[in-house]
Amino acid sequence: MSDDPNRPPSGSLIEDATVEIKGMAKGGMAHPSTKPVLAGAAIGAVAGALLPVVSLPLGLVAGAGFMLYKRLRP
């Protein structure tokens, strides 16, 4: 994905997520999606720790997944 948030999706969600995750892995903290996805993971982990039904790792993955989805499909 490019840095333009107004750009329409290029393909399927899986293809876009793969490209975005690879870009995040190569770009590290400089990639525009890294910080929002990490923030979502942290919020999910806190929610997972506070809620009795959701575990910490599940909350972390759910939070990161949600923020990645919001970056791909605003």
Domain ranges of the chain: 33-74
Cα angle value 12/13/19 (rounded, 5°): 95
Query: By C-alpha distance, which of 65, 67, 60 is closest to 51?
Result: 60
Which has the higher per-residue pLDDT, 65 or 12? Answer: 65
Under 8 Å between Cβ of 40 and 63? yes
Q: Collapse the DSSP code of 57 into the 3-class scheme (helix H, G, I; strand E, B; otherwise coil) and give the result.
A: helix
pLDDT (tens digit per residue) in 6-52: 555 567 889 999 999 999 999 999 999 999 999 999 999 999 999 88
Would you state the pLDDT for residue 1?
Answer: 46
